[in-house]
Structure 1
Amino acid sequence: MPIAVAPMVDVTTSHFLKLCQIISPNFTLYTEMIHCNALVYNPKDLFNFFGEPWEGKVVQLGGSELEPMAKAALLVQENGYKELNLNVGCPSPRVQKGAFGAVLMKTPQTVVDIIQEMIKVGVKIPITVKCRIGVDNLDSYEHLCDFIRLISTTTPVTHFIVHARKCWLKGLSPKQNRSVPPLKYEVVYQLAKDFPHLTITINGGFNTTQQIKEQLELVDGIMIGREVMDRPMFLANVDAAYHKIPASELKSTEEIIDEYLEYVLTEHTRGTPHSNAVVMAPLKMLYGGRRGREYRRRLAATILPKTKPLPDIVRDVRLMLEEMDFNSSASEAETEVELDNEDRESSKVVSGCV
């Protein structure tokens, strides 16, 4: 599936990815990054970190130590997940302290050693790498090519997801690293030309279906982050515009919410330990406009107090939707698949690494 939802810390939780899958099964979905030690020391919590495995869900790991990374990768494989991604692009202070993420672009041999150790312990599922076009002063095209070439010739990795911005490890916050360094799409286009035998996916700043169509003429895949975070129903837009799915075959927002609430009840029965706020967070951005603001206000009130039983929350959310009558034709949110608006304000929501 050439169109993917980006891994975003504290955003692409197992619950958010389930919502995305309910909206449409036609996208590759990346989990938020989990450090390898979290899995190695808490293997029984793996399902809680990533949710159920399915075709098209990719687990992203962070870390730089060979043995823990290999052990974590093997746990991912043994629990039925079909693909693994290495984070070699996140510039957050926590990541820098652990010497992984974008720091690894400075030592590509370490990335090779990690992957080779994974293969050595028996990891057979596909492994991919998500990186930047450069880090600090190591931002030449030659350095990027050397990075790609070394990994692709010494390991089985053939798929690279490239954020078309460099990052500065010092002087810029993670948020600034998603906007201050300029986007250089032409660098990723050139990679696709120079490495035609590899799969090159582009990431960074895309928010319209037209952009998706244009990018897929130039590279093998495209990854969308903040647009899906801010507006999950954008995936339905893409289904209509790119996958050519008739509007009559797309799920309504009400159907999506109902299916998600059934999933929530199932997870509650299993005893999956997540707070009410985390479980219900994926529903926040499903409606836009004035009615969307009212929906979010009432949804937040419905979730409280923190001790409220989850089945009661599900019941109250359904009652809330009935009261608000989102099927009303007068609503700003009546059309689930809205036309893209390229002039709307950029996202103001702060997310984790993309």
Structure 2
Amino acid sequence: MTLPKRTLSVAPMLDWTDRHYRHMARQITRHTWLYTEMINAGAIVHGDPQRFLAKNDCENPVALQLGGSDPELLAKAAKIATQFDYDEINLNCGCPSPRVQKGAFGACLMNEVDLVSGCLNAMQDAAPDCEITVKHRIGIDKQTDYQVVADFVGTLREKTACRTFIVHARNAWLDGLSPKENREIPPLKYDYVYRLKREFADLNIIINGGIKTNVEITEHLQHVDGVMLGREAYHNPLIMRDWDKLFYGDTLPEISHDELIARLHNYAHQQIQQNQGTILRHMARHYLGLLHGMNGARIWRRNLSDAELLKTNNADLILQTWQQVQKEFQAA
């Protein structure tokens, strides 16, 4: 099977891009690359791989993002992951959270490029048929010179087989800012990522950070190979509905609201029936933004986040709420 280009992708987002979100996203876009949450390599090796790596058959193309800094542990996790049919395994070198720093991985790895190259090579050796990629920032703390990120990318290009670099176009401040502030306060420097593509033309350079509209996507694609969206694709998932046509040339019709809701209802019902312990709330929380900006969006969000309504764990709540929303459409 020929994989689509990484023209568009949805960023790995902790607690958000789980298999239930990825199932929903795949109903909306057929070609966009999806990413798991960052998963600690140690949790896979020492815990229950099925719990952390299980995915839906429909998700591909899908990438697993690993967190860690021990080449041996990352290699073991990558080898285990090969049993789960991921198309890519990505190493996180961009997360600035204190918890991740304490584990000596994430963004702080940008200061340890030789260690990163060792990690990537160990992962590639363990999973030779899976592409190994890296996601990183443009610098750490007060490192504001372009050469910082250029040296990081150049060294990895020389010492590893990694050819896909996903670049969050902000610095990561490891001290003084929360993870949320790290997504908003350090200035975006898209020109640094554009320059990487000019200077490393043979690499696949994907830009990430603060991108919210299809117009912005189109502009970025004039300069780089791909665009990765995060929070916009989560809070307003139907932004993805145009992507197959606009960016992949797909001529199949876009999914209707009726068909999408029906598929989500069927999925939720099957998950509750087949997977003991799966609860509706874990799936419905990802659906809250589906009516973003539309009449009835308030009813949709209210019902699918109502603890009393969700307590019955009945997937029919999705259809019942959609019926209420349709009445709102008719009354408008």
Query: What TM-score, normalized to structure 2?
Result: 0.91
Q: Quote the offset at 1:125 in angstroms.
A: 0.5
Identity %: 36
Which residue of the other structure, out of 255, 259, 266, is the alignment partner of 1:262? 266
Q: Quote the offset at 1:325 in angstroms.
A: 1.8
Paired residues for 1:212-227 under 5 Å: 212-227=217-232
2:138, 2:115 → 1: CA distance?
Answer: 18
Matched, 1:287 2:287: no
Which residue of the other structure, out of 116, 140, 144, is the alignment partner of 1:135? 140
Query: The residue matched to 2:237 in structure 1 has which SS?
Result: coil
Query: The residue matched to 2:262 in structure 1 has which SS?
Result: helix
1:85-130 alpha-carbon deviations (Å, 9 max, x no partner): 1110000111111010001001011111112222343543100100
2:32 and 2:244 in contact (8 A); partners too: no
Structure 2 unpaired stretches of 5+: none
Paired residues for 1:42-121 under 5 Å: 42-46=47-51, 50-52=55-57, 54-121=59-126
Displaced runs of 4+ in structure 1, greater than 6 A? Answer: none
- Mark the CA change 1:326 to 1:36 in structure 2 (over 3 Å): closer, same or farther: farther
Partner of 1:182: 187
Q: Quote the offset at 1:306 in angstroms.
A: 6.1
Matched, 1:299 2:304: yes
Q: Quote the offset at 1:299 in angstroms.
A: 1.9
Q: Relative contact order (alpha carbons < 8 A, sep ≥ 6): 1 or 2 greater?
A: 1
Q: Quote the offset at 1:133 in angstroms.
A: 0.5
Q: Quote the offset at 1:44 in angstroms.
A: 3.9
Partner of 1:322: 323
Query: What TM-score, normalized to structure 1?
Result: 0.86
1:126, 1:272 → 2: CA distance?
Answer: 33
- Mark the CA change 1:209 to 1:329 in structure 2 (over 3 Å): closer, same or farther: farther
Q: Quote the offset at 1:316 in angstroms.
A: 2.7
1:314-335 alpha-carbon deviations (Å, 9 max, x no partner): 123212322332683565xxxx
Q: Quote the offset at 1:243 in angstroms.
A: 4.2
Q: Quote the offset at 1:212 in angstroms.
A: 1.0
Q: Quote the offset at 1:150 in angstroms.
A: 1.2
1:23, 1:53 → 2: CA distance?
Answer: 12
- Greater shift, 159-168 or 274-283, is seen at 274-283
Give 1:144's aligned amino acid. Answer: V
Structure 1 unpaired stretches of 5+: 332-354
Give 1:299's aligned amino acid. Answer: L
2:96 and 2:173 in contact (8 A); partners too: yes
Query: The residue matched to 1:138 in structure 2 has which SS?
Result: coil
- Mark the CA change 1:86 to 1:288 in structure 2 (over 3 Å): closer, same or farther: same
Q: Quote the offset at 1:210 in angstroms.
A: 1.0
Matched, 1:251 2:255: yes
1:77 and 1:123 in contact (8 A); partners too: no
